[in-house]
Chain A
């Protein structure tokens, strides 16, 4: 029923306009260039609500991270989780003011996270196991309306 009175926009619903984000997407390489044999997955990251300002002012990033948690070779391979991604982002993507993004090994209260357009609270939050081409959106709600 809501669709009948919808308003058509070209917006992304993330709280910035294209003029405020001149280069919408960057490809960030993992710290060490992966060898051909290394098994990685591609993750797309979007920032909303002004969060991109903490990430080199780039609202959209495409990154590659290992498919499995780095660990002991004798254990079964463990798919990387959101916990790994958040920690990876803190060391590789965050350009300033870590306390505005991270809290413990998670994200700060007041930052909404969506995994493939679903509230991450329905997806297991930090325990969610990432798959190739997952899309993760972080939206800050921490300042003005």
Chain B
């Protein structure tokens, strides 16, 4: 086959076939269209960022968050967003998995010149995933990890005093989540999983600048830019349900590459009837730890109580209507405070340890 010229600059050799459009583009044009599309997602409507905002990039060391940290650093300079960027990593305490990927994040910290904060399950909950799996077994441990990670990100962000968390969720991830929410009948999540930015009262704003970025392009970008990322499967049981949705989606994409944005579009088009919305629980704060919750106790506090009581998998069924006080002798999650005055006046020891001040230009 003779080399195909780039369909944008018509000079260089095309090296990437874009899944969304079928366009055949050269390396430089690929970088430019990829970055421009992310920029467009960021500035669409009122825009997801405000000038001077402090933004934490949820960084796992994997491809998506690594490319996000790179692209956001580039766009912040190029378009002068005026953002104060941080890397925020959660250490779940999984030996042989997270410890390796955290090394990658530490390398990214140096490469991008961004301050890094690492918050561990161990310091927040008193449990590592290794210890949780030891107690509850390999089935369903993803539930603990998912609930704990979400809250840990918010708490890490609060400790950094940031206004906004961005994550590397890409178009494929969001399409997967739409499918999963339909299959599980989770109407509340279906309604919000396609939003670029979500924010409810008392929670930190979260955005997904890669909402329209295909996974293929993210991987190609990382490869052509030779970015440092870490790729390995979690050593504990994979999220089997998501795995099926993922394989199904990849099969669809192979037949019709637009399937991914089409599914996202379908997810966006679902409109909840008033009667359905009324049936959904109002949000409150957890009586024990102050984190946002739809019950008296947040899911993390309930799970933690089950763990502390020495329960196995049945810890998952721990009630969220319990009394405010934790049983005597149980470890609990520290009170959730946004913009904690202590944090501003004198950074806690954790922050000082975690954040190494690196100049951001």
Listed in ascending order, the chain A residues whose CB lies under 8 Å from chain B are: 1-3, 5-17, 20, 48-50, 53, 108-110, 112, 114, 117-119, 121-124, 128, 137, 139-145
> Is there an interface contact between B227 and A122, defined as CB atoms closer than 8 Å?
no
Nearest A-chain residue to B19, judged by Cβ: A121
Stretch at the interface among B122-130, B192-200, B215-223, B293-301: B215-223
Q: B89 within 8 Å of A by Cβ?
A: no
> Is there an interface contact between A143 and B233, defined as CB atoms closer than 8 Å?
yes
> Is there an interface contact between B77 and A16, defined as CB atoms closer than 8 Å?
no
Nearest first, the 8 A-B pairs at minimum CB distance are A145-B64, A15-B231, A11-B228, A109-B250, A13-B226, A2-B31, A110-B250, A109-B254
* Given A20-B100, A145-B65: A9 and B227 interface contact (C-beta under 8 Å): yes
> Is there an interface contact between A9 and B231, defined as CB atoms closer than 8 Å?
no
* Given A2-B28, A144-B60: A139 and B223 interface contact (C-beta under 8 Å): yes
B246 partner residues in chain A, CB cutoff 8 A = 110, 142
CB distance from B268 to the nearest CB of A (A): 22
A145 partner residues in chain B, CB cutoff 8 A = 60, 62-65, 168-170, 173, 215, 218
CA distance A5 to B97 in the complex (A): 31
CA distance A7 to B216 in the complex (A): 21
Q: Mark B14-52, 1 if CB is under 8 A from A, else 0.
A: 111100000010001001100100000000000000000
CA distance A1 to B250 in the complex (A): 33
Given contacts A2-B74, A141-B172, A144-B62, 20 further A-B contacts (CB under 8 A): A7-B227, A11-B227, A13-B224, A14-B223, A17-B228, A50-B232, A109-B253, A110-B246, A112-B219, A114-B223, A117-B224, A118-B3, A122-B14, A122-B15, A122-B17, A122-B24, A141-B215, A142-B246, A145-B170, A145-B215
Q: B54 within 8 Å of A by Cβ?
A: no
> Is there an interface contact between A124 and B1, defined as CB atoms closer than 8 Å?
yes
Nearest A-chain residue to B14, judged by Cβ: A122
> Is there an interface contact between B228 and A50, defined as CB atoms closer than 8 Å?
no
- The majority secondary structure among interface residues of chain B is helix
A2 partner residues in chain B, CB cutoff 8 A = 28, 31-32, 35, 74
CB distance from B91 to the nearest CB of A (A): 15
Q: How many residues of chain B are within 8 Å of chain A by beta carbon?
A: 58
Name A17's contact: one of B14, B62, B103, B169 (CB within 8 Å): B103
CA distance A2 to B215 in the complex (A): 20
> Is there an interface contact between A119 and B15, defined as CB atoms closer than 8 Å?
yes
Q: B335 within 8 Å of A by Cβ?
A: no
Nearest A-chain residue to B1, judged by Cβ: A124
A128 partner residues in chain B, CB cutoff 8 A = 1
A9 partner residues in chain B, CB cutoff 8 A = 111, 226-228
Name B32's contact: one of A1, A7, A112, A143 (CB within 8 Å): A1
CA distance A88 to B14 in the complex (A): 28
CA distance A20 to B62 in the complex (A): 15
A114 partner residues in chain B, CB cutoff 8 A = 223
> Is there an interface contact between A17 and B230, defined as CB atoms closer than 8 Å?
yes
> Is there an interface contact between B231 and A112, defined as CB atoms closer than 8 Å?
no
Q: Mark B146-177, 1 if CB is under 8 A from A, else 0.
A: 00000000000000000000001110110000
* Given A112-B220, A144-B234: A15 and B60 interface contact (C-beta under 8 Å): no
> Is there an interface contact between A144 and B223, defined as CB atoms closer than 8 Å?
no
> Is there an interface contact between A141 and B222, defined as CB atoms closer than 8 Å?
no
CA distance A110 to B250 in the complex (A): 6
> Is there an interface contact between A15 and B74, defined as CB atoms closer than 8 Å?
no
Name B251's contact: one of A109, A117, A140 (CB within 8 Å): A109
> Is there an interface contact between B73 and A7, defined as CB atoms closer than 8 Å?
yes
CA distance A108 to B170 in the complex (A): 20
CA distance A104 to B87 in the complex (A): 42
CB distance from A99 to the nearest CB of B (A): 10
CB distance from A105 to the nearest CB of B (A): 14
Q: B112 within 8 Å of A by Cβ?
A: yes
* Given A5-B78, A7-B70: A50 and B233 interface contact (C-beta under 8 Å): yes
Q: B13 within 8 Å of A by Cβ?
A: yes
Q: B4 within 8 Å of A by Cβ?
A: yes
* Given A145-B65, A145-B173: A15 and B24 interface contact (C-beta under 8 Å): no
B144 partner residues in chain A, CB cutoff 8 A = none
CA distance A130 to B156 in the complex (A): 51
Q: B238 within 8 Å of A by Cβ?
A: yes
- In the complex, 11 of the A-B residue pairs with CB atoms within 8 angstroms, ordered by the A residue number, are A7-B73, A11-B226, A12-B226, A13-B225, A13-B226, A119-B15, A122-B1, A141-B216, A144-B60, A144-B231, A145-B62
